[in-house]
Amino acid sequence: MSEPRLKYGQLAPEGMEKMRALGHYLNTGTGLTASLMELVRLRVSLMNGCGHCIKLHTAELKKVNETDERIAGVAEWRSSMAYTQRERAALGWAEALTDIQNGHASDVVYQEVQAHFSDVETVNLTLVISTINAWNRIAIALGSHTRS
């Protein structure tokens, strides 16, 4: 692995710690399952082409005993019956919030999220999606990680 463009963890340790603290809250204080959050993180990382994050979240999914089929299928989740309605709503929300170049999150996608998540869960899920997008961009822009 080559050197990072910038040693961002050393240059902005307080900011990086705040990002990690938000991640800790999301992982431990929201009631969202690890599997759901990691599926969303993997889908967003695939969309953004962050090789490092793809590897990381694939490994995290294996740690929570996700099957190879569900991990490999997350890129094409719409054509798979391997995901629950709740997971499908979360993956759709993740795509809508990540791919904002072609429009913003539609009311239809939002209504699907609202059918499967409480208001507070929707906010926390949105934070999961927002933070993985931020981590992807940091890793791609400033890191040494493989860009896929």
Burial readout 96-107 (b: 16 or more C-beta within 10 A, e: otherwise): bbbeeeeeebee
Residue 89 domain flag: yes
Whichever domain contains 136, its CATH number is 1.20.1290.10
Give me the mean pLDDT over the 103-114 stretch: 92
- The confidence score (pLDDT) of residue 147 equals 45
Cβ–Cβ < 8 Å for 117, 18: no
Decide if 45 is inside a domain. yes
Does residue 122 form part of some domain? yes
CA dihedral in degrees (121, 95, 111, 72; nearest 10)? Answer: -80
pLDDT tens by residue, 36-57:
999 999 999 999 999 889 999 9
Positive or negative, the CA dihedral 135, 141, 145, 148 is: positive
Q: CA–CA separation, 86 vs 117, rounded Å?
A: 8
49 C-beta neighbours (distance < 10 Å), count: 13
**Global pTM?**
0.92
Let me know if residue 26 belongs to a domain.
yes
Q: What pLDDT digit, counting tens, does each position of 123-137 carry?
A: 999 999 999 999 999
What is the domain extent for residue 137?
13-142
